[in-house]
Amino acid sequence: MATSDALDHTIDLSGDEDLIQSFTGEREELEVDKYFRACVKLEGSDLHMKVGQPPIVRVDGTLKQLNRGPVDRQEMVDLLFPMLTDRTRVIFKDEGGCDFAYTVDVDGTSWRFRVNMLQQLGSLGLVARRVNNYIPTFEKLFLPDGLEKLCQYDQGMVLLAGVTGSGKSTTIASMLDWINRHYKKHILTLEDPVEFVFTEAKSLINQREVGMDVKDFSIAMKHAVREDPDVMLVGEMRDEESFMTAINAAETGHLVFGTIHASSASTTIGRILDLFPDSMHSAIRSAIAFNMKGIIAQKLLRSIKPGVGRVPTCEVMTFSPTIRKLILEAEDEKLPDAIRIGAEDGMQDFTMSLKSLLDKELIDRPTAFEVAPNREQLKMVIKGIDVSEPGIL
C-alpha cells in the first residue's frame, strides 16, 4: 500500500469551469491532481480510478491501492468532470468515453498523462498512462541492436505491434528522437492525444493533436501532404482508412511510423488483412511487401535489475527478399522460421530476445518461460544450441 505522504496536498478549487487551456498551457489545480502526483511520486505507469475502489496505481506492472477509502459515485463526478473541456464533454456524451492529454505539476516539473475517461455500469471512471518527461534512448530502453537501420530509410513504413501498455509509443518516440538527433528532416506527428513532446535537435518537428489542432484524422492527413514532411507518425492502424492513408504516404516518399494491436511480428500481416475484404487481400499483400520496412512486436516484462522497472522483449521482422516472397505468396505460416534464421538481416524472434535479456540479467528464468512462445526452443538456446540454422527445429 502507498503511504499517505504521497497524497498530502491541500488543493483550493475555484469552480467547475473548463480549466484546461491547452496541453502546454497553465491551468488551475484540481482536487484530482493529487492522485496524479501520487502516481508520479510512486513512479507508477498508470492511474486507475473506479467507483467503489480507492485510486489505484500500477507500479512495475503491479496494481497498488493508494492509502484512502473507496471513491463513491458523487465524489468521482466531482473529481473527474472538471477535467473535461467543452470539446471533450461533447465527445464523452456522444461516445461514452474520451481520450485527452493532461498535465500535472510535480515539484516544479510538468508531467504528462494520456487519459481515457470512461463510463462503466453507469459510473464515471478514468485510466491515465504516465508519459515520461524525457525520451529514452534505445540503450536506456534495452531495445535490440539494429533499430537504427529502420530509422535511416527515406521512405516506407515501420509498425510497432503489441497489446495496450506494451511500450509501443515509447519505442516509436525513441526512434523518432534518434532521427531528430541525427538528421535534418521535417518530422510531423498526428496524435490523439499528443504524448511525448519532442525537443528539436537537428530536425524540425511539428506535433498536431487530433481534436485540438485539427478536427479529425482524415483532415489531418489531407493537410499533411501539403506540409512537406519527411517522417510521419500516424498513430494506430485501426481500420481500412487509417492503414490505406498510411501506406499511401509511404508509397509517395515518406517514412511513416504507426502502431497496431498484434501479438507478434508475423501475425501482424494477418491483422492488417483483417481490416480489408478478401477481394483486396492480394493488393494489400503487395503494398505491404513493397512498402513495409520493418515490424517490431514487443511485450513489457518485469526486470530483476535494481533501478530498472520493466524491459521489452522484442521480435523484429525486417523486409528481406525472403520475407517479401513469403508475404506475396501468402505463406505467412513460414514467417516465424524466416525471422528465426534472419539474424543477418537484422531480425530476431522472441526466443532470442528472451535469451539476450537473461544473459544481461535483466529478467529471471520464470519470467522468460512464462512469456516464451516456444519453451522448448528457449530451453535449447539457454543450453547453447544454435537454433538459427535452417532445419535445426
Find the CATH number of the domain harbouring 349: 3.40.50.300
**Residue 24's CATH number:** 3.30.450.90
Domain membership flag for residue 390: no
Domain membership flag for residue 393: no
Same domain, 150 and 173: yes
Same domain, 46 and 159: no
Q: How many domains does the chain have?
A: 2
Same domain, 120 and 253: no
Same domain, 302 and 245: yes
Same domain, 18 and 112: yes
What residues pair up with 313 in beta bridges, in sequence order?
299
Q: Which of 131, 153, 174 is the last residue of a domain?
A: 131
Q: Please, which pLDDT band fits residue 20 given cuts at 50, 70 and 90?
A: very low
For the stretch 121-161, pLDDT in tens is 999 999 999 987 789 999 999 999 889 999 999 999 999 99
On the question of pLDDT at 6 being above 70, the answer is no
Q: What is the pLDDT of residue 182?
A: 97
CB 265, CB 295: distance < 8 Å: yes
On the question of pLDDT at 387 being above 80, the answer is no
Same domain, 200 and 323: yes
Q: Which of 131, 161, 179 is the last residue of a domain?
A: 131
Domain membership flag for residue 391: no
Same domain, 167 and 101: no
Domain membership flag for residue 210: yes
State which residues form the domain around 16: 4-131
Q: Which of 111, 131, 151 is the last residue of a domain?
A: 131
Q: What is the pLDDT of residue 192?
A: 82
b/e sequence 35-71, b meaning 16+ C-beta within 10 Å: bbbbbbbbebbbbbbbbeebbbbbbeeeebebeeeeb
- More confident position, 218 or 8: 218
On the question of pLDDT at 263 being above 80, the answer is yes
- More confident position, 188 or 19: 188
Same domain, 74 and 147: no
Phi, psi (deg, nearest 5) at residue 10: -110, 120
Q: What is the pLDDT of residue 27?
A: 64
Question: Would you say the C-alpha torsion 229, 232, 238, 243 has a positive or negative sign?
Answer: positive
328, amino acid identity: L
- More confident position, 232 or 6: 232
Kind and range of the H or E element at 131? strand 123-131
Q: What is the pLDDT of residue 131?
A: 85
- More confident position, 279 or 389: 279
What is the distance of C-alpha 102 from the center of its chain? Answer: 17
For the stretch 69-93, pLDDT in tens is 999 999 999 999 999 988 899 989 9
On the question of pLDDT at 5 being above 60, the answer is no
On the question of pLDDT at 272 being above 90, the answer is yes
| Residue matched to cell numbers 488551475 | 28
Q: Please, which pLDDT band fits residue 185 given cuts at 50, 70 and 90?
A: very high
Q: Span 7-27, mean pLDDT?
A: 37
Same domain, 111 and 184: no
Domain membership flag for residue 392: no
Domain membership flag for residue 388: no
% of the chain with per-residue pLDDT over 90: 73
pTM of the entire structure? 0.79
